Structure 1
Amino acid sequence: MKKKIIHTIKILSINIIVPLLFFSCGGGSDEGESLEIPNPEAAVLIFPENNTECNEGQIINDNQSSVVFKWSVAANTDIYEVNLRNLNTSAVSKVNATANETPITIDRGTPYAWFVVSKASGTQVTEKSVEFRFYNEGPGVSNYAPFPAEAISPIQGAIVDVADSITLEWTTSDIDNDINEYEILFGTDAENLVSQGTTNATNKSNISIVPDTIYYWQILTTDIYGNTSNSDIFQFRVKAI
């Protein structure tokens, strides 16, 4: 009789423990659920201002100065990536900041373009601000070259419908507001573009094209003092018939 009683007690103990282990495992299943990370918002650029001369900053030498770049605080953002492009050389630099301003050493007497990318930890989603252009003040500069032209139509990398001709359109700006003319370079070889003449307008019509061809174009901007700037080389493709 004693053996039977002991055997029964062991069975009961197993029946009691198993349910406890089951509920213990089930209770922890929700703990690993991750919270949704909100997407960062775009910053609003403050300084240097768009299409202006930057005459603030600490002069380091005749060639460089340190300028404090400023923008608005962007919601849901942990890191701001400042993208800066030298418009004379097309060289790009990137600076990370955790606050909404940071000093950057740049060349004097040089045009730049800049924008800020907002980033957040835990998500790959980013948000880009608009792009500003400015001149960093240089020693003894009394007149500035125009900013390089930007393509409006066709936009960079566009695919256009079949046609016999096309109208090129661009935009640009100049601190001194003294642009004199634009020269249009065009062709199928980016290294050997052909001049299509000059104009005072910001467009050029009736440029001949053929189907299934890639074209390149560039705008040379000149002010009344002879200062010039070269745009990037833009590209578009005409659809095949």
Structure 2
Amino acid sequence: MIKNIIAILIIMSFVACSGSDSQEEEVPDENKATTKPSLIYPTNELLCTDNPLEFSWSPSFDEDGDVISYEIQVATDLAFSENFQVSTVTIPSANFTLLKGELYYWRVKAKDSKNLSSDFTSVWNFYSQGEGITNHIPYAPSLISPALNESVLNASLNLKWSASDEDGDLLSYDVYFGTSTLPELVAENITETGFNVNLNLTETTYYWKIVVRDVNGAETLGQTWFFNSN
């Protein structure tokens, strides 16, 4: 009888010990989020001429040694909804093709292999360059009348010239006229290719020149011409 009681106690003790061991579970280490990256390029408020454009940021660090990936978002509004582009990469850089002449915003966050993400970086903006405009300066004006060093008998005279522009732009003219070799401005932004001047009746040498300007502000200074009054 005593032997049976001892055997039962041993069995109960063994079961109790086994149950205690089965309830002790290993608690895994808490997964820590990777560090937040920092934006590098394009810098804030930069005018970017490259397209496609390469974006770069500083690499993140994961204390647990997890594999890190990055999500980069690019859009033309702060809500990241208009012209939105997103990419997930494993290196701290990515390329995007952009619309031209737009203000863009971008941000990045890091994520470990257990899908725990860092916060997004601050938002930076930049500008994509628009379409280039080619404009040629006007050709130098050509003398029509009076001829160079011509003697003029009248008390008034119409100065005449011609000018052209490769782009076909509308042209305007500044007229310089006087008895000095550095004639003074007497008319500005006229659109006619002729200008009336009054002359002295005494023998005098007059000098004049024309500045040609297109609608884009490109201008060409003509040479100085001269004639004589008698």
| Higher Cα Rg, which structure | 2
* TM-score (ref. length: structure 2): 0.45
